[in-house]
Structure 1
Amino acid sequence: MASIFGHGLVAYTTSKLIDYKSGKLLLCLAIGSAMLPDLDVLAFNFGVSYSHPFGHRGFTHSIFFALIWSSLLAFVFGKSKKLIYLIVLFLSTISHGLLDAMTSGGEGVGFFIPFENSRYFFPWRGIKVSPIGVEKFFSERGINVILSEFKYIGIPCLVILLVLFFRAKFLKKRS
């Protein structure tokens, strides 16, 4: 998996890309939704295997889960911006599986669970897989993960956020 930092940054960037003036609630929901799929690691504590549909990178990483989750949150919190909330939250949630499918480890992502249980990776897998567990993250391997994410996630997100920032400044000056 990519780390929670990478997942959170992609959600923040997605939120700003779709709705530049997105409020704190939408930003928090988007970042939380991007991190949520990894709660499935708790299944290991109950004897659920990695390859089980409810194992790590299974159902909570699927397109179906992202649709259900984002629809629920958009309905509850979206008020007059339900469609914006739905789009931002869906993209933030599904971005988790997309990033994980670009990592160097694991057994793939169950994008189509519960309809089909196969696990998938993308052909390009340049993001170093993050260790599971906080104590393992603060190690040489953890530093390599952060550097990898900075290169493949941080820099692209920063470029997008800078373009959006300067675009907003330019448009504000013109009005």
Structure 2
Amino acid sequence: MDTITHTLFGLGLYGAVNKRDMDKNTKRAYLLTAVGASQIPDIDVISRLWDTEGLYQMWHRGITHSVFLTPVWALLFFLLSFLLFKVKDKKLFLLGWLAVFIHNTSDLFNAWGTGYLEPFSNMRITFGTIPIVDLVIWFIMGTAFIYSRRNKLISPYYFRVAWAFLLVHVIIQSTQGFIIYKQYDDQYDQVALSADFIPWTFSVITKKDDEVIIFNDNLFKKEETQYVLQSRETADLDKLFSQRPEARTLYEWSPFVVLVDDDERLGLYDPRFYRNGQSFLFEYIEKNTER
């Protein structure tokens, strides 16, 4: 999910806590833990600073997003709460654990995926049923905030209801995505799903032999063909990989790629992010020149 959504998750967790009998420092500790732990897995973005081998694509949402690391992050914020605010409350550890778990698990549902089982498996797990920016989640959390301001005495109730609605939203959206995915699974060699910003609407990316077709589909209308792409499966990628190590990482990271080998470029791209004639995950070299 995007940074705003993870922040909303943290604020939503903080809002769901009954803080009526808390002093100022305890409230600060809970706010730091709820919001900070909801963001901490994305600290991996700093790995760009020392990435000299084109591995950032694999590092991002890698080990920091592992479900096995969630208690470690929770312990970090438990200790920070004690060091900064002198608050020692075991519920802070549980809150931090829940916040990190929600971050890592929610990222499974969009097309980018995570290394959820690292270090025991480097497989990228992705369901593709929820968009990275989900305006429905924003609306649900925003509504809870508005109602909580109107009646502060029962403020946690509104956020707890919001979490229930959010869970229902994810279940409904993901169930529809799974049904659509199964409709294509038997017809193509490979299938991937990417949720659109419009609720209950999906891009279905299929590959059979050297042809990649991207459909727009939902359960309430006939599918529409958006793009038909040709992949040059016989392309020799050795030169590409030697000059652009990021290309090898993308090749290993993506469920499948489209290979480009024409008079101008040798490269590959992830068709899940193909929009308006190009994917923003595209690694290539110019023919006869160095990029």
Normalised by the length of structure 1, the TM-score is 0.66
| Secondary structure of 1:121's aligned partner | coil
Match in the other structure for 2:244: none
Q: Identify the match of residue 18 of structure 2 among 17, 20, 32.
A: 20
Change (3 A) 1:97 1:68: same
Change (3 A) 1:76 1:102: same
Q: Identify the match of residue 40 of structure 2 among 26, 30, 36.
A: 36
8 Å CA contact retained: 1:75, 1:82 = no
8 Å CA contact retained: 1:70, 1:86 = yes
Q: Quick one: distance in 2 between partners of 1:67 and 1:169?
A: 32
Letter in structure 1 aligned against 2:118: I
Letter in structure 2 aligned against 1:37: P
2:161 aligned with 1:154, yes or no? no
Shift of 1:118: 2.0
Letter in structure 1 aligned against 2:5: G
Contiguous gaps of at least 5 residues in structure 2: 20-25, 156-291
Q: Quick one: distance in 2 between partners of 1:164 and 1:112?
A: 37
Q: Mapping of 1:1-175 within 5 angstroms?
A: 2-17=1-16, 19-21=17-19, 23-45=27-49, 46=51, 47=53, 49-50=55-56, 52=58, 55-77=59-81, 82-103=89-110, 105-106=111-112, 108-122=113-127, 125-127=129-131, 129=132, 145=133, 149-151=134-136, 153-161=137-145, 169=153
Q: Quick one: distance in 2 between partners of 1:157 and 1:91?
A: 17
Shift of 1:81: 5.2
Structure having the higher helix fraction is 1
8 Å CA contact retained: 1:61, 1:109 = yes
Change (3 A) 1:159 1:88: farther
Structure having the higher strand fraction is 2
Q: Quick one: distance in 1 between partners of 2:61 and 2:143?
A: 29
Q: Quick one: distance in 2 between partners of 1:170 and 1:40?
A: 37
Aligned length in residues: 144
Letter in structure 2 aligned against 1:72: L
Shift of 1:43: 2.2
Q: Quick one: distance in 2 between partners of 1:38 and 1:44?
A: 12
Shift of 1:159: 4.7
Letter in structure 2 aligned against 1:32: G
Shift of 1:42: 2.6
8 Å CA contact retained: 1:62, 1:94 = no
Change (3 A) 1:170 1:13: closer
Kindly, what percent of the aligned residue pairs are identical?
Answer: 24
Q: Aligned-pair RMSD on alpha carbons?
A: 2.9
Shift of 1:13: 0.6
8 Å CA contact retained: 1:101, 1:125 = no
Q: Quick one: distance in 2 between partners of 1:170 and 1:36?
A: 29
* More RCO (CA 8 Å, sep 6+): 1
- The structure with the largest alpha-carbon Rg is 2
- String of CA shifts for 1:2-55, please: whole Å, max 9, x gaps: 2211101101111222x2317123212321222221221232441352564xx0
- String of CA shifts for 1:106-146, please: whole Å, max 9, x gaps: 2x211221233222123x5232x3xxxxxxxxxxxxxxx4x
Contiguous gaps of at least 5 residues in structure 1: 130-144
Shift of 1:101: 1.6
